[in-house]
Structure 1
Amino acid sequence: MSIGRLPDEIAQLAPGTPLRDGLDRIVSGHTGALVVLGTNPELEAISTGGFAIDVPFNATRMRELAKMDGAIVLSTDLTRIVAAAVHLSPAADIPTTETGTRHRTAERVAKQVGVPVVTVSASMDTISLFAGAGRQIVPRPDQLLDRVGQALSAIQGNRTRLNASLERLTGLEVHDSVTLRDLAHVAQRFELTNRLADEATSYITAMGGDGRLAALQLRDLVDDLTPVSSLVQRDYVAEQEAMPFARLARLDDQELFDIVLVARSLGFAPELHLDSPMRPRGYRQLASIPRLPARVRGELVERFGDLNGLFAASTAELTTVEGVTADIARQVRDGLTHISEKALAG
């Protein structure tokens, strides 16, 4: 399912940024470099030699300084070159999976001082980002574009399956036959779509200004996920309880495909099994009725208890609810009838 999320720090290296311009110039010059993206007391403690320059950052200046041995240190906001030709001496007992001297140093520095470090490989013409405990080879713009395309395609496919799951849930709600299994399947689809959207966001961010159109496409695909998810959860979770779908973020990708584990992660009573019946309150169906205020929806659910009670209520009974006029009552009655007929026809 996953095609690999990029770290947040990758945005600092997006195409079109001054830093990326400087790194691309170093790649073109085949000289290699080690660049520390920020400074702190911990970094200063392991730094020796070199010289402080504290000059405004520009790509040409960094390219020339990369011709010297040692690290280039930038200010935390990346607007200034603080020092150059700096020798870094991180603790030798910090584990590293790298083999080259430059990359081993970069990984250890990032782990020890908590500041991102970028390396340029002279032999491979690649840019690598070390942030925290991981290394990420910085994708070229064409690679990013390909990843964005894959992610958006995956989101589109999963969104289609999510919509089908929601339509099926509506049919089951009309027939009063929803089970915990059905709710778990819908929750699973929401979480899968959210994870794919999170990955796509990381690629689009890494594209910088070139990702604007892709960002619009992504927003079009997922912009309504949060409100729909909230309505589903309000239908099946007590008002005072936290929304359970967020708990699925704790599962890894493989665990997310285990429907039993998904159901347990939602936090319902342990004695419930997958075929335990679930009864919706009706928030989601009421929200599909045009121009029905949220306050009125809440009053209706409070008065009639659940979706079955709403389906059974007559127009006259609906008007006994505070804020429900005769016109609103007919609108609600017609809307619920349409939902029922559509589900039965499907």
Structure 2
Amino acid sequence: MDKKEVLKIFAYGGNLRNSIDKISKAGRGGLFIFIDYKKIKKICSGGFEINDNLSGEKLAELAKMDGAIIIDDKFEKVLFANVLLTPDVKIPTNETGTRHQTAERTAKQFETLVLAVSERTKVATIYYKNKKVQLSSLNELFTKTGEALKSLEKHEDIFHELIKKFDVSEILELVTLEDIVLLFQRKKIIDIVADILSMFLAELGKEGKLIQLQLKESVNFSDRETNLMIKDYEDYFDFSKILSELDELQYDDVLDKENLFKIFMNNRKNENALIPKGFRILRNIPVLSIEDIDLIVSKFPTLKELMISNEEDLLKKGI
């Protein structure tokens, strides 16, 4: 389970998030463990069995008591409430408060998901194995999402401008390595920003549906363009290695185009002039299906040959 999956569990609109909000607004704290009770029984004492379906109202009511609340690992039933947990004190923790120390140690000891809500700060913190994730308020999430969305739109605009210039370069057969590098650089930046935005959207849940659609549209366009570029120039570059090495780059590394130049140069198959096959340009003609494009490219090795052909040439090649 990665961070995004964890955030989805506690997304706005769900029972768990509703109960967290109710607990915080009431000025209370809480400790919730998501695990099969049998697995954690040895560190439990006191409390009482509930064994009832999970609901936001029920959790908020049970949180009035000091003890921990145990919920099944399918997030469907409240198993026990007001339980005293005594995890191994030898397990290191960076927390200071008793509730959060217990939460972190329990998560590490049983490699499970634990939620602690602070009574003082009203902040909800998730512990999962050795990871710690702090939940954000709705206002914080909307602010962060808005900033990320503006950044995504800016880089998307740059990508579109680069594509327009690239169209001209392909038609004139003047494509350079820099043209390709700049497009893949911008695509990588878009992916990084999109990953950040998708993390916020995971926690926003139902509140972020419209933004999710906008994000999908942005990523789909840049994905399509670069995937078709790969088909056009696969005879010149080993793209499997290039993409693998690009995935290893951090954001600051991506901003320096020299890092991308090195990757492309090291994985170049030959020094021939960069002539496109035409997959990407042809894909922008709505009436052509993917099958049509594959047929055309198989008959005309380069885009230039296709562009200078006439109707008779097309008929001779069975198009």
User: Which band: TM-score by shorter chain?
Assistant: 0.7 to 0.9
Q: Could you tell me how far 1:14 is from its partner in structure 2? A: 2.3
Per-residue deviation, residues 227-263 of structure 1 (Å, max 9, x unmatched): 2222121111259974954652332212222323334
- Who is 2:297 aligned against? 301
Q: Could you tell me how far 1:18 is from its partner in structure 2? A: 1.8
Contact 2:233 2:275 in 1 (8 A): yes
Which of the numbers 173, 187, 197 marks the counterpart of 1:176? 173
- Who is 2:142 aligned against? 145
- Distance change (3 Å), C-alpha of 1:257 and 1:112: farther
Unaligned runs of 5+ in 2: none
Which of the numbers 249, 252, 255 marks the counterpart of 1:251? 249
| Number of equivalenced pairs | 317
Which of the numbers 105, 108, 112 marks the counterpart of 1:108? 105
Contact 1:237 1:243 in 2 (8 A): no
Provide the C-alpha distance between the structure 2 equivalents of 1:308 and 1:130, rounded to a whole number of angstroms: 58
Asked if 1:157 is matched to 2:122, the reply is no
Contact 1:48 1:88 in 2 (8 A): yes
- Distance change (3 Å), C-alpha of 1:277 and 1:91: farther
Contact 1:230 1:243 in 2 (8 A): no
- Who is 1:123 aligned against? 120
Q: TM-score, normalized by length of structure 2?
A: 0.86
Question: Structure 2 matches for 1:1-346, cutoff 5 A?
Answer: 7-39=4-36, 42-44=39-41, 46-238=43-235, 242=240, 244-245=242-243, 247-265=245-263, 269=267, 277-322=273-318, 324=319
Provide the C-alpha distance between the structure 2 equivalents of 1:75 and 1:105, rounded to a whole number of angstroms: 18
Give the AA of the match of 1:252: Q
Provide the C-alpha distance between the structure 1 equivalents of 2:270 and 2:98, rounded to a whole number of angstroms: 56
Unaligned runs of 5+ in 1: 325-346
Q: Could you tell me how far 1:300 is from its partner in structure 2? A: 2.2
Q: Could you tell me how far 1:161 is from its partner in structure 2? A: 0.5
Contact 2:48 2:81 in 1 (8 A): yes
Q: TM-score, normalized by length of structure 1?
A: 0.80
- Distance change (3 Å), C-alpha of 1:301 and 1:101: same
Secondary structure, counterpart of 2:251 in structure 1:
coil
- Identity across aligned pairs (percent)? 26
Q: Could you tell me how far 1:189 is from its partner in structure 2? A: 1.2
Give the AA of the match of 1:249: D
- Distance change (3 Å), C-alpha of 1:299 and 1:219: same
Q: Could you tell me how far 1:46 is from its partner in structure 2? A: 4.4
